[in-house]
Amino acid sequence: MVTTVGTETTFEKLVQNLLILEHDAIAAYESTIAKLENETSKAKIAEFKSDHDRHVVELTRMAGQLGVQAPTEGDLKEYLTTGKVALASIIGDGAILKAMSTNEIETKMAYDHAAKNAAAPADAQAYFRKAYEDESRHKAWMDANA
């Protein structure tokens, strides 16, 4: 699925939509941790989830500075991200990681767009580049271990 998150025309909407995306991602990570059998994989996924938790903290801080509401949950896309994990769990850990890897495509794309978004100030763009690097690291591990 191609995302438009990251292409917003206002910084306020960009931050809000990234928060929704992060909450969707966290739900998928929680589902993955619950369904994986391999303890090493569970620990790595929990580590990656902590990156998403950290992104939520920073994005919530940005929303506060902007005086806009910080979403505290995902949207309907959460059912897609967690649903893929649930279906993959029927097959096993490799399929679960593959499903999560496909979820990371959208998150990587969103942060790539956000890092280049002219509506975002330079310090936010720099943060979005770091978040993109986190997502790239997550996806690379998942691809290598699926």
Taking only the tens place, the pLDDT of each residue in 91-106 is 567 777 888 888 899 9
The rounded mean pLDDT for the chain is 88
Q: How far apart are CA 135 and CA 132, in angstroms?
A: 5
- Whether 3 is in a domain gets the answer no
- Percent of the chain, pLDDT > 70? 86
Q: Domain range spanning residue 41?
A: 11-145
| Residue 139: partners with Cβ closer than 8 Å, 6 or more residues away | 101, 104, 105, 108
**Domain total of the chain:** 1
Give the domain CATH number at 98.
1.20.1260.10
Taking only the tens place, the pLDDT of each residue in 63-94 is 999 999 999 876 555 445 555 555 555 556 77
- Whether 82 is in a domain gets the answer yes
pTM score of the predicted model: 0.89
- Whether 1 is in a domain gets the answer no
Taking only the tens place, the pLDDT of each residue in 37-53 is 999 999 999 999 999 99
- Whether 115 is in a domain gets the answer yes
Q: What is the number of residues in the chain?
A: 146
- Whether 91 is in a domain gets the answer yes
Contact (CB, 8 A) for 111 and 15: no
- Whether 20 is in a domain gets the answer yes
- Whether 60 is in a domain gets the answer yes
- Whether 97 is in a domain gets the answer yes
